[in-house]
Structure 1
């Protein structure tokens, strides 16, 4: 079993020191552009270069996030950025936009590629697709169970990276458009405004059944309790979320996971869990989808923010003096902060005195008797965490050999992993009076001072009764250290050709009107329009109805729209073989695995909007793979020559969490929607076979007919479908 990698987030330079000093094996960070954490400080290319130098000398890998969708106009700038990155020794790129795969293979073949969790990899077929295109590691969707992860690991020879600590998205990553729709801040472009952390009402048939609360806000995950199981699963890398978090957070989390990875501790100590909660938690942790079913136990419905550590209750409150008496189970110290959770308003205050654990104290703060009290800032803890990285001391272990034979030059060799360097010094002389002692030789050659190295093992072969000036040994040691540093930092420079804009190939650009439907009532209306020449039929796992719809569309192109999420159990349970008998039937693919499977079976394959094509390189990547047509991402800004959706209540979130399941509504008939803080309504649809829920845009996208366009019908009645068609296409 290989040693698992501990991978830490770095959003600013202090976080890098915090990660390295507390035991990270690797770090991930982003540049000033093309990074999915736009609001983090991030780094210039010069800063990245210095970070790589610091980390490489200490044996720490550095992965660079280029994990946003790329607009067509940005491709030349991206090309220049990749050119810089390949020449400074990064260990891998973490990518979302698969157009980068094409660029790297064509221009930068020395770069290693990791697939971001933004690619929603959730099945064996997904993983096989990415491996077939040269991806060396996949960051799996956080929604997978441990058994699903093990299945992927066992069936695909590829590195697996999973999140072990930090924030969870409500939606499958890469499948969320809610922030983009609400405020033009795209999560796929690194600018998510986190609408999942806001309050919503859940309504059925227009009536509120769950009042305003944080319905879409998951707790952070903490997997210390199940870490032995994750290690046994032979996952390649344990990833910690948090490029927007503080260096103290990074120090605390890395330190804890380093401890539990390296030591066989049978159960998690309360003191370690309390420290993690004190630094950041949203109402406790969950172990995530590894071993939990989606449900309220994973949700932070009371508060979407860090609440700190629960330490006590309000015993009483005097309105006249405005003094609250609080009982605390933990000692409080000057500099701490507490927050009282009153029924309507949470109120915080600082602590200026010392209060013993398991005691009561009075403080001026508005409070209600019985309200819970949380430690929102642990001053001494934060101070102790800062001490772990303020004076960096981490060194890389290396081995050494010393050879000294009278009459020959002294040879000093350093070995670091698979790198071996050596140098020769002065000739070793026969001693006249005071021969040099072996202990002295060992001391001089292991005294590495402020270098990033320390000697783990030294092998000395040295003649007795010999002599050398000590300063010469020091000079030799410094020379070999410089050689080792140079060897570790050397990068083979690669000068690519000039960037050439992708030329369109293998695509028909004639104007066309298509429609996607889910019901026969919708289809009846579509079939009245001869100028709708292509029909996409929502499969919904029903081959019989799909074949019936296909036969009704006998004079039109017909494609089966596959599910937005198709995990391995769905692949096993529902077969497409019966549909494959119809040679002219095509397939609209919404997952990478579907693309892989449909092309492997030599069927007509199209890519849907949710695979996020926003530029020509990405489009050509799919065309080269055997795809015949693409529907552009809803976030595409440029006018690319592919199909675009001009009408529809489009999904803004696709999630494994189902609100109907959370609140005992499964199986109930009725129309469900969310209402947000400004009164906007967001319809909900569910796929009960895969236990997937989608939140739709209550406002239908609607644009003019131009080029290749698609109308997307989902929740519309037959009458509503008729009205839309008449408005957009005129009378049939």
Structure 2
């Protein structure tokens, strides 16, 4: 899209429906992001069908506003054809960029519509410089960074990134790192990774452990306040952030207008109505905790009736922010003709080459005085349009333009601006290519997959007779030194799913130091890790969210020797995930057959909502929901760079149905279990016995 030169950072606003889009654009957004029906992370928003998308793009482009379309959900093999059609629809609409999560979507965009820019969704969990570099390698032009970054971490990523970086500046904060949450899927059967999050984290959860005896917990330990980084706009601008993003496609037009207006003022270094921004939507205030490196109870909040009442009271005031649209497109006028020609021609043109002509209905009369000042005043009245007068040029003969009444000039101006806006609204579809989707053979069922086991610590390792029956042992890289030398040839070192602060450079140094120490390979849990995990064999882990054969093939191209299928994937969809190498050799796939599933990976600590510090904490706790179920919480390390995991109360178990798992490797994930319990579970698995306690089959038998 040709458009006027924008200030930086770009203000990117949500458009959950046509009304919100209009409000965001009229209030002055530089770009909007919206969803196409079916393939975006906010399926419950109004979204747009292909026809409505074309109209939205034309409306925005006429006003110099870019349109980013979200295609940022995980997809299954059976959906790849529909996804390809969605990419064609986005290109036909002439959109500027697509926000992408699944590598399959990125591949389809590159193949079908190479003119579309790729933006890496926050669902990809990009939070380090190496992650941004990998996106650049894959043809992305922008990385949408994780919300959990501090200002120093943002600065470091932006400085090292070869592509643009976008950050969220206002709106809801998920408790979990985006792309690493399975809570909605496993508690309610609605996958947030598939665009249908039910928001169970906003429900009450009480802390029942990890506290001093008798210390009461507070409710809603998984509900964070909304983010507000608008007061830090100057710092983000100085950091080189290319785009600031407002979250909220499920909210109102008034919310979008208030947030855009505040961002525009802050970007210009001007004051803004902080009370209006808070009242139009908040959860008892805002938080900037991640940006400033604070991790405490002030981050948590819920939406109260007082908040809702404030919103109702603020809505009429916010509505005034988009009653008339912002004048932002420079328009130039040229007046030609005049008394000698018997008429006036008014030419209106913009800086991008669009040009229209209109003609006076009446003949001008000889002027008694210089008409230029009056003409300039009449043509400068562009209010109610997206245009602002950038100047008037006169190209008349010796008699000049002559005299026309002000009403005539007003009518010519209106007609010229209407025609110019219409010209700027003309569709500009992008070129597309026809492709044939690759065929993928389904994995056979009926065979018993080999067994592997993942352990949280080396202290959980079972006896030799159990270890001998396992194809692989998987342990976090921090446990490498504790792995006995004879076991290293079958041990994979798991890299962290999140690497904030110094974790990534520390991991890179640790990998370099372990080279030649006999380990079988590493498990990569983030796209970034494919840039530095070699020369050890690399296997794809839980954090990659692999659900279809095309994304699996993309990871194989990056060097993956095997891939774990995302646990929300039904067995029927899992059969089609297995990719093949260029020589036709199948690449092994794996799936979890046992384990307390990690429902959330969070940088915010649920227990800090009741604790004043980490001092004395065992880094273990529990959250109890309304039904009395206890969700274990484990903290990897204290401090702002540490990560916390919230686990499912009951384990997944497939030991008695291993032959139904269409994978090469079944992985038992041990996190909370002591060594003796590990041996009991392995015994059940080895003998394909029913489980000896409460368990779940997860989503393996759902129709997804």
8 A contact 2:16–2:46 mirrored in 1: yes
SS of 1:629's equivalent in the other structure is strand
Residue pair 1:59, 1:396 contacting (<8 A) in 2 also: yes
Question: Kindly tell me: are residues 477 and 277 of structure 1, through their superposed partners in 2, closer, same or farther at Cα, counting changes over 3 Å?
Answer: closer
Query: Does 1:711 find its partner at 2:668?
Result: yes
Mean Cα displacement is larger for which, 569-578 or 413-422? 413-422
1:160 aligned to which of 149, 159, 165: 165
Partner of 1:135: 140
Residue 702 of structure 1, aligned match among 653, 657, 664: 653
Deviation of 1:527 after TM superposition, in Å, equals 5.5
Query: Which residue number in structure 2 is paired with residue 563 of structure 1?
Result: 496
Within the alignment, does 1:647 sit opposite 2:585 as a pair? Answer: no
- Whether 2:35 is the aligned partner of 1:78: answer no
Deviates more, 1:227-236 or 1:69-78: 227-236
SS of match in other structure, 1:524 = coil
Secondary structure of the residue that 1:491 maps to in structure 2? Answer: coil
Q: What is the DSSP-based 3-state SS (H/G/I as helix, E as strand, rest coil) of the residue aligned with 2:116?
A: coil
Superposed displacement of residue 90, structure 1? 0.9
Q: Which residue of 2 aligns with 1:232?
A: 238
**Correspondence for 1:259:** 265
Residue in 1 aligned with 2:522?
A: 587
User: How many Å apart are 1:665 and its aligned residue?
Assistant: 5.5
Map of 2:548 onto structure 1? 615
SS state of the match for residue 489, structure 1? coil
1:464 aligns with 2:425: no
Q: Does 1:679 align with 2:620?
A: no
Per-residue deviation, 1:157 = 2.2
1:298 partnered with 2:305: no
The 1:104/1:526 distance shift into structure 2, 3 A limit, reads: farther
Counterpart for residue 470 of structure 2: 532
Q: Distance in 1 between matches of 2:617 and 2:382?
A: 71
Is 1:116–1:139's contact at 8 Å kept on the other side of the alignment? yes
Aligned to 2:233, what secondary structure does the other structure show? helix
1:387 aligns to 2:320 (yes or no): yes
TM-aligned CA distance change 1:388 to 1:566, over 3 Å: closer
Alignment of structure 1 residues 91-110 onto 2, 5 Å: 91-110=96-115
Asked if 2 retains the 8 angstrom alpha-carbon contact of 1:9 and 1:29, the reply is yes
1:252-310 CA-to-partner distances (Å, cap 9, x unmatched) read 22222222222444xx7xxx22222322221221223111411112112xxx214546x
Task: Give the counterpart of 1:35 among 40, 44, 50.
Answer: 40
Alignment of 1:389-428 (within 5 A): 389-390=322-323, 392=325, 394=327, 396-402=329-335, 414-421=348-355
Q: Give the alignment partner of residue 512 of structure 2, picking from 565, 568, 577.
A: 577
SS in 2 for 1:33: coil
1:77-129 per-residue CA deviation (whole Å, 9 max, x = no partner) reads: 11111101101111111111121111111121111111111111111111111
1:64 aligns with 2:13: no
Alignment CA distance shift 1:308-1:234 (3 Å): farther
| 2:294 counterpart of 1:289 | no
Pairwise CA RMSD: 3.6
Task: Give distance in 1, aligned partners of 2:193 and 2:409.
Answer: 58
The equivalent residue for 2:481 is 544
- Partners of 1:186 and 1:476 in 2: CA distance: 52
Decide whether the 8 Å contact of 1:36 with 1:68 is kept in 2: yes
The answer for the alignment partner of 1:657 in structure 2 is 604
Q: What residue in structure 1 maps to residue 586 of structure 2? A: none
Q: Could you tell me whether the CA contact under 8 Å between 2:123 and 2:178 is conserved in 1?
A: yes
Question: What is the aligned partner in structure 2 of residue 19 from structure 1?
Answer: 24
- Whether contact under 8 Å (2:333, 2:393) holds in the other structure is yes
- Aligned partners of 2:636, 2:7: CA distance in 1, in Å? 39
Aligned partner (choices 434, 457, 462) of residue 519 of structure 1:
457
SS of residue matched to 2:223: coil
Contact 1:526 1:532 (8 Å CA) reproduced:
no
Give the Cα separation in 2 of the matches to 1:432 and 1:209: 90
Any conservation in 2 of the 1:165–1:240 contact (CA below 8 Å)?
A: yes
SS at match of 2:532: helix
CA change 1:692–1:397 in 2 (3 A) is: same
Separation in 1 of the partners of 2:48 and 2:414? Answer: 34
* Matches of 1:203 and 1:21, distance apart in 2: 49
- Cα distance in 1 for partners of 2:400, 2:411 equals 17
How far residue 559 of structure 1 moved from its aligned partner, in angstroms, is: 1.3
- Structure 1 residues 209 and 631 mapped into 2: Cα distance closer, same or farther (>3 Å)? farther
Equivalent residue number for residue 88 of structure 1 = 93
CA distance in 2: counterparts of 1:237 and 1:403, whole angstroms: 42
1:411–1:422: 8 Å Cα contact kept in structure 2?
A: no
Matched-pair contact (CA < 8 Å) for 2:91–2:116: yes
Distance in 1 (CA, whole Å) between partners of 2:241 and 2:228 is 16
Larger radius of gyration: 1
Of the structure 1 ranges 416-425 and 667-676, higher mean CA displacement relative to structure 2 is found in: 416-425
Q: Return the alpha-carbon distance in structure 2 between the equivalents of residues 526 and 697 of structure 1.
A: 29
CA distance in 1, matches of 2:414, 2:632: 70
Q: Is the 8 A contact 2:127 2:149 kept in 1?
A: yes
TM-score, length-scaled by structure 2: 0.83
> 1:477, CA displacement in angstroms?
9.4
**Whole-Å separation in 1 of the counterparts to 2:374 and 2:55:** 35
Higher strand share: 1
What are the Cα deviations for residues 624-654 of structure 1, in whole angstroms up to 9, with x where unaligned?
Answer: 1121111010111302332111111121111
1:434/1:467 contact within 8 Å kept: no
Structure 2 residue 255 is the aligned partner of structure 1 residue 249: yes
- The match for 2:185 among 180, 184, 192 is 180
Q: Provide the rounded CA distance (Å) in 1 between the counterparts of 2:163 and 2:505.
A: 22
2: distance between equivalents of 1:31 and 1:443? 43
Q: Which digits, 9 at most, give the CA deviation of each residue in 1:136-195, with x for residues without a partner?
A: 111111110011101111111221111111111111111111111111111111211212
Contact 1:517 1:537 (8 Å CA) reproduced: yes
More displaced, 495-504 or 250-259? 495-504
